[in-house]
Structure 1
Amino acid sequence: MTTTDALDAAFSGIGCWLLQPDGRSKPLSVDRWRLPADADDLALFLDTAPDERTLDIGCGPGRLAAALTARGVPSLGIDISGEAVRQARDRGAHAVQGDVFTSLMDAGRWDRALLADGNIGIGGDPVRLLHRVTELMRPGGRAVVEVAQHGVGVVTEKLRLKVGQDLTPGFHWSVVGADAIGEVADEAGLDLEEIRVSGERRAAVLRSRRSV
């Protein structure tokens, strides 16, 4: 079973478990991603610079992309799960199935990129991911990146997903704390502008230094 297969199953309502290197496991809860954008989503991702053309990376079922579309903001969600993309489109979002590291429409022209719900972890290399994000945005574009609390630093683990008796191959995933995002961003060619806090969540706003 591939990781994409497991995510498709999870978004279809089939039980999916996240297995950690130390043997612990927890259910992959996708239900909250299917809810409408909440007050924290609005404060962190949607209520600032509302007219910027926005790329929602790892959009899942599209709650952010759909909210942007409903506001008339040009936006695109991207996710590796075809089932998640189908649900995002059903909500009215513009979304495509794909990998952020492969060819993507309007690359180099997006005003803003969102990495919500811990999606800074994609690929297990936050510097590489943010460098890719700068390539997708226009010069001076901004990335809004959800981060963990202060003191976490950067933690990368090899995880697996389990659906029934089927296991995916291991994949690397990173968690970046608010204390570490500035250094990670600097290595990728972005400047930390601010860290927004809403409820128990926080997001770093990063400005690309790319000039051409």
Structure 2
Amino acid sequence: MTLTETTTARPTFGAGGAEPYAAALQNEANVLYLHSVHSTHSAGMAPMDAGRWSADADATDHSLLEGAAGPVLDIGCGPGRMVRAAMDRGLSAVGVDVSPTAVRIALAAGLTVLNRSVFDQIPLEGTWGTLLLVDGNIGIGGNPEALLRRCAALLGRDGELIVEVSGDPAHEASYEGTIEDSLGRRSSSFPWAEIGVDALRLRAVAVGLCVTQSWLLDGRSFARLARR
């Protein structure tokens, strides 16, 4: 597979400004905060430990891959812990992320990761066995329905999508966000969204998907989706 870079003009998670996300991935001020640009308060998410994204997958992460079919595509993969976890299970796995820093770290670790948006050209379209949208990545692009539609196009006929959702089932919010670290360094603004499982069900139906399972594990909430 050729790893070609695709540039996009879309503002993306944690990029621009003081680049706190890139710094956190390189062990500087690992705790990050997601804010609406119109508020000094967090937009519903707890502080994010970027160090966890760079660490090995934990037991909860590994449980998401139980029974998973390959190939696996991790959308917004960061440094690639879920790509590694899938490979450790003998699955073919690829990550995609817009952060050059995250992709550089993943490639240095020997992982197959593409530096592009999920809305750009993705190999094996329509054949992926498992798609992952964890760590809040259902928020990518600020429009969960558009992202779910894109995932539906990527999934194989019997494929499944695993989404990490808000702990509040009814929660749904879209906003212009920014990432800030503990030193007060901020990124440029970018579109983002949060969604709970009840709202996810409605959005899924609109794009030909359905929620087949939802569960809570270790304080995190997840849903499994398949074609209707």
Q: Do they superpose with TM above 0.5? A: yes
1:160 aligns with 2:185: no
- How far apart in 2 are the matches of 1:19 and 1:205? 27
Aligned 8 A contact 2:15 2:188 in 1? no
Residues 3-152 of structure 1 correspond to what in structure 2 (within 5 A)?
3-5=14-16, 6=19, 7-15=21-29, 18-20=34-36, 21-24=38-41, 29-43=49-63, 45-49=64-68, 51-152=69-170
Secondary structure of the residue that 1:180 maps to in structure 2?
helix
CA RMSD of aligned residues (A): 2.3
Q: What's 1:191 paired with?
A: 210
The letter of the residue matching 1:41 is: D
TM-aligned CA deviation for residue 35 of structure 1: 1.5
The letter of the residue matching 2:55 is: L
Name stretches of at least 5 consecutive residues in structure 2 with no aligned partner.
Answer: 1-10
Classify 1:165/1:22 alpha carbon distance in 2 versus 1 (closer, same or farther; 3 Å).
closer
Deviation digits for residues 42-68 of structure 1, max 9, x if unmatched?
Answer: 22x21122x421100000111110111
- How far apart in 2 are the matches of 1:178 and 1:88? 30
Aligned 8 A contact 1:191 1:207 in 2? yes
Secondary structure of the residue that 2:86 maps to in structure 1?
helix
Deviation digits for residues 117-145 of structure 1, max 9, x if unmatched?
Answer: 11000011000000001111122321100
Classify 1:17/1:180 alpha carbon distance in 2 versus 1 (closer, same or farther; 3 Å).
closer
- How far apart in 1 are the matches of 2:177 and 2:91? 35
Secondary structure of the residue that 1:132 maps to in structure 2?
helix
Aligned 8 A contact 1:69 1:92 in 2? no
Segment drifting more, 9-18 vs 123-132: 9-18
Q: What's 1:208 paired with?
A: 227
- How far apart in 2 are the matches of 1:10 and 1:144? 26
The aligned length equals 207
The letter of the residue matching 1:172 is: P
Runs of 4+ in 1 over 6 A off after TM superposition: 163-166
- How far apart in 2 are the matches of 1:35 and 1:19? 24
TM-score (norm 1): 0.86
TM-score (norm 2): 0.81
Instruction: Give percent identity, aligned residues only.
Output: 33
- How far apart in 2 are the matches of 1:19 and 1:181? 22
Aligned 8 A contact 1:149 1:179 in 2? no
Name stretches of at least 5 consecutive residues in structure 1 with no aligned partner.
Answer: none
TM-aligned CA deviation for residue 165 of structure 1: 7.6
Q: What's 1:174 paired with?
A: 193
- How far apart in 1 are the matches of 2:170 and 2:84? 31
Classify 1:24/1:150 alpha carbon distance in 2 versus 1 (closer, same or farther; 3 Å).
closer
Aligned 8 A contact 1:195 1:202 in 2? yes
Secondary structure of the residue that 2:197 maps to in structure 1?
coil
TM-aligned CA deviation for residue 162 of structure 1: 4.6
